[in-house]
């Protein structure tokens, strides 16, 4: 996942696309690629990528004049041969190509350096689960601190309960499928008995199946948690360490935010002559360059670089910036490092970051990339927009890692230069270069690792609009990458992937596409209720009893399954994720339609979510001193950020519930008749309309009562002498707030109603 500087690159991306559209007739990803002949560019004049030659420890930047970036000439952009083995569907034009190198899909021999520092450190490969405290002794060693890298993150009874997740998931899936089958059987029986078509019941079943499909797919994935994850907690010790180039990518962020990341990177517990910190500034800020230069006397291993951007020529935003850095480090004293690491502009690394991640690459020569989770220190109480990613980093990513499908998390990762060289460096033409990079490496037979330790902390977007741009960008990038890689099901790019790796790539791309169907299905609930049709059909009272009992069993088993599955991230975190999937679906669906389905003349555009209208100033919604008043916040979020859909859906659904309930009281004349009518119409357990309405109300409730956050400096502990800052212990945790309590109350009410209906069914 890309970090907080996504929005900056998003602005840069819009400028690039606008230039291409004006100069070359670029129409977006849904149209055919532009032919290279349309561009006045001579590919044969471009040199090949330089081989990976690590710089020597001890040769520091003080031994030569400070580096000044030469004019940028993009040495990795080359023409793709007509008879190359680039997979079908990937454009050949350098403007649209996913990689700037023709070696992206070719079996190019990896250029190994004779100066490699890996061999003296580790003589042979080893599995992640070690039986000794020391993997290798010597001047520099790899120490095994624990059997599990997440031993301090969650432990005790939680591990025993989480162990039950695959079994609970299997039971829950089986019960739910039985329940859906019973629903269909009862509808057919009711129609045969009465000779009347129950259209409303069929539509409601269709909705339930539609909503259940992604959950069932995800259940199949989480059942794979049965495979134990054995990645140990390792540390690299000593001073004879491999060389690393640490890139800090930035594009217009505040200087102080970037400098905190740079100072944290320089403050690593790592030999100074074995790593460099290189700031890759895509905004070419004079003040940032000056601030970096002021660090040079005390830190000779820090560099500032800013590439030249030629108007009308695609810059490929973050991937292009990283590739520029990969090429330019060859000109630094000693050449390129054996490994490359990357940090987003706002991600402050912990002091043992490099020593914690590198061992996982050193013990296995086929390990291409190792990455820790992205964690955040400015997440507001209750995390109303589900920005923390805790469920993904604490539950999903460890399961993927156990199956050998760890994705690059976008920041804090360390990658082997030889593996990058084999895939042609970072692939261009993707909005999710991190996912694309790790996927291509897996396709080449390399391995990736997820290090489940808190090794970096950054910031989440502080405004509603920034959050929408970030998440829709991720979704579009994942889908775009999946299309180009044929959903990881076949093709040269994924030839060496395992079944689990292919299934993972297919699943997460499909879940993004599924928002289209989910958004469309939401309309059906208020329509059925206004239509006056019952949601559940049955032929006799016994069938109704069985339906209620099956629904009760499915609901309770689902609650137990959620409790066990959410344990590593926290129960409330998992619930936030479930609500997020509902209210965010319309935004993702809209962007997918615009990006992949509509032609430009009908509003098609290759970009993340863009607000309508003109926003004169920021809302500052999380600053209690400068935030706009409630009326401005409501106007902007409801109209400019299209929460009008959410607002209208909630009110129409509530009106439909009231009308449906009124009909029950008017038509039925007995208490039993009224209760059964209410249950089979709007209040069928577990009160689905209530969960959907409270979830879709999130943007509106956020506009009415946004969370307040202190200044960023108040969330940090800063060394007065060095200026190095790290998040406070309190800021690393998400506080339990009133909104989380409200949603838990709603969830409890729905569960209690299901139990009461179940009990009542025995008395009629």
Q: What is the DSSP string of 19-48?
A: HHHHHH----TTSPPPPGGGS---GGGSPP
- Fold (topology level) of 109-147+243-460: Spore Coat Polysaccharide Biosynthesis Protein SpsA; Chain A (3.90.550)
Q: What is the mean pLDDT of residues 448-467?
A: 95
Question: Phi and psi dihedrals of 303, rounded to 5?
Answer: -135, 150
Q: In what order do the strands lie in the sheet with 456-458?
A: 348-349, 456-458, 375-376
Residue 317 backbone class (left: φ over 0; alpha: ψ -120 to 50; beta: rest): left
What span, in angstroms and rounded, lies between the C-alpha atoms of 741 and 163? 27
Q: What is the mean pLDDT of residues 697-718?
A: 96
Q: What is the mean pLDDT of residues 38-51?
A: 32
Before 686, cis peptide (omega within 30)? yes
The pLDDT score that the predictor gives to residue 477 is 86
565 burial via Cβ count (<10 Å: 0-12, 13-18, 19+): buried
Q: What is the DSSP letter of 101?
A: S
What span, in angstroms and rounded, lies between the C-alpha atoms of 242 and 118? 7
What span, in angstroms and rounded, lies between the C-alpha atoms of 257 and 347? 9
Q: What is the pTM of this model?
A: 0.81
The pLDDT score that the predictor gives to residue 556 is 95
Q: What is the mean pLDDT of residues 376-389?
A: 94
**pLDDT tens profile 601-613:** 776 776 666 666 5
Listed in sequence order, the residues at least 6 apart from 643 whose beta carbon sits closer than 8 Å to its beta carbon are 637, 699, 700, 703
Question: Phi and psi dihedrals of 142, rounded to 5?
Answer: -110, 115
Q: Which tokens hold the place of 266?
A: 């320089």
- pLDDT of 373 > 50? The answer is yes
What are the domain boundaries of the chain? Answer: 109-147+243-460
Q: What is the mean pLDDT of residues 531-548?
A: 91
Rounded percentage of the chain residues whose pLDDT exceeds 90: 51
- pLDDT of 39 > 90? The answer is no
Q: What is the DSSP letter of 109?
A: P
Q: Give the pLDDT band (50/70/90) at residue 522.
A: confident
Q: What is the mean pLDDT of residues 621-632?
A: 93
- pLDDT of 431 > 80? The answer is no
Report how far apart the first and last C-alpha atoms of the chain are (Å, whole number): 54
Q: Give the pLDDT band (50/70/90) at residue 133.
A: low
- pLDDT of 132 > 70? The answer is no
- pLDDT of 614 > 60? The answer is no
């Amino acid at each position: 996942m890309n970090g907080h500087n996504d929005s900056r690159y998003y602005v840069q991306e819009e400028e690039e696309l606008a230039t291409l559209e004006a100069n070359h007739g670029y129409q977006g990803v849904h149209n055919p690629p532009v032919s290279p002949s349309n561009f006045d560019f001579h590919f044969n004049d471009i040199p090949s990528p330089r081989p990976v030659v690590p710089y020597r420890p001890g040769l520091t930047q003080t031994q030569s004049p400070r580096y000044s970036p030469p004019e940028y000439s993009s040495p990795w952009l080359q023409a793709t041969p007509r008879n190359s083995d680039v997979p079908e569907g990937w454009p050949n034009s350098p403007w649209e190509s996913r990689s700037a190198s023709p070696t992206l899909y070719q079996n190019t021999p990896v250029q190994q350096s004779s100066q490699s520092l890996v061999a003296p450190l580790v003589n042979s490969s080893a599995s992640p689960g070690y039986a000794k405290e020391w993997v290798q002794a010597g001047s520099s060693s790899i120490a095994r601190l624990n059997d599990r890298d997440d031993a301090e993150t969650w432990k005790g009874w939680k591990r025993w309960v989480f162990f039950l997740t695959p079994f609970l998931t299997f039971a829950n899936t089986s019960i739910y499928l039985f329940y859906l089958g019973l629903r269909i059987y009862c509808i057919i029986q009711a129609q045969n008995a009465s000779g009347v078509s129950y259209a409303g019941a069929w539509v409601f079943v269709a909705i339930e199946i539609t909503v259940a499909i992604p959950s069932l797919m995800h259940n199949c994935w989480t059942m794979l948690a049965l495979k134990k994850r054995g990645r140990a907690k390792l540390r690299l010790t000593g001073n004879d360490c491999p060389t690393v180039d640490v890139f800090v990518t930035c594009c217009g962020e505040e200087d102080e935010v970037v400098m905190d990341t740079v100072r944290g990177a320089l403050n690593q517990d790592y030999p100074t002559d074995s790593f460099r910190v290189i700031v890759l500034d895509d905004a070419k800020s004079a003040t940032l360059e000056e601030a970096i230069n002021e660090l040079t006397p005390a830190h000779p291993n820090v560099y500032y670089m800013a590439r030249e951007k030629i108007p009308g020529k695609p810059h490929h935003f973050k991937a292009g910036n990283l590739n520029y850095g990969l090429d330019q480090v060859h000109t630094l004293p000693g050449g390129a490092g054996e490994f490359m690491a990357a940090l987003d502009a706002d991600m402050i690394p912990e002091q043992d970051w490099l020593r914690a991640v590198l061992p996982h690459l050193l013990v296995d020569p086929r390990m291409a990339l190792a990455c820790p989770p992205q964690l955040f220190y400015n997440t507001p109480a209750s995390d109303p927009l589900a920005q923390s990613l805790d469920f993904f980093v604490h539950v999903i990513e460890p399961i993927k890692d156990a199956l050998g499908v760890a994705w690059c998390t976008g920041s804090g990762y360390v990658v082997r230069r030889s593996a990058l060289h084999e895939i042609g460096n970072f692939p261009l033409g993707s909005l999710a270069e991190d996912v694309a990079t790790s996927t291509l490496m897996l396709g080449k037979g390399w391995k990736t690792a997820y290090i489940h330790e808190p090794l970096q902390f950054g910031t989440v977007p502080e405004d509603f609009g920034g959050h929408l741009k970030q998440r829709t960008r991720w979704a579009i990038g994942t889908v775009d990458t999946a299309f180009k890689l044929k959903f990881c099901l076949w093709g040269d790019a994924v030839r060496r992937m395992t079944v689990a790796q292919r299934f993972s790539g297919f699943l997460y791309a499909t879940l993004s596409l599924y928002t289209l169907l989910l958004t469309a299905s939401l309309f059906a609930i208020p329509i059925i209720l206004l239509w006056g049709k019952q949601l559940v059909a049955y032929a006799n009272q016994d069938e109704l009893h069985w339906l209620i009992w099956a629904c009760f069993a499915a609901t309770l088993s689902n609650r137990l399954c959620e409790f066990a599955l959410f344990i590593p991230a926290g129960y409330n975190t998992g619930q936030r994720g479930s609500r997020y999937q509902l209210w965010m679906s319309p935004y993702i669906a809209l962007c997918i339609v615009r990006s992949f389905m509509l032609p430009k003349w009908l509003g098609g555009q290759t970009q993340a979510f863009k607000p309508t209208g003109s926003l004169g100033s920021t809302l500052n919604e999380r600053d209690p001193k400068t935030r706009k008043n409630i009326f401005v916040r409501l106007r902007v979020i409801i109209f400019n950020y299209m929460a009008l859909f959410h607002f209208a859906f909630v009110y129409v659904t509530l009106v439909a519930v009231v009308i449906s309930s009124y009909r029950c009281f008017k038509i039925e004349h007995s208490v039993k008749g009224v209760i059964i009518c209410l249950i089979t119409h709007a209040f069928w357990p577990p009160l689905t309309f209530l969960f959907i309405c409270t979830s879709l109300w999130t943007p509106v409730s956020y506009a009415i009562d946004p969370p307040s956050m202190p200044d960023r400096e108040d969330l940090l502990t800063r060394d007065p002498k060095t200026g190095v800052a790290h998040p406070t212990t309190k800021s690393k945790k998400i506080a339990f707030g009133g909104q989380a309590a409200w949603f838990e109350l709603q969830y409890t009410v729905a569960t209690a109603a299901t139990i009461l209906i179940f009990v009542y069914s025995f008395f009629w």
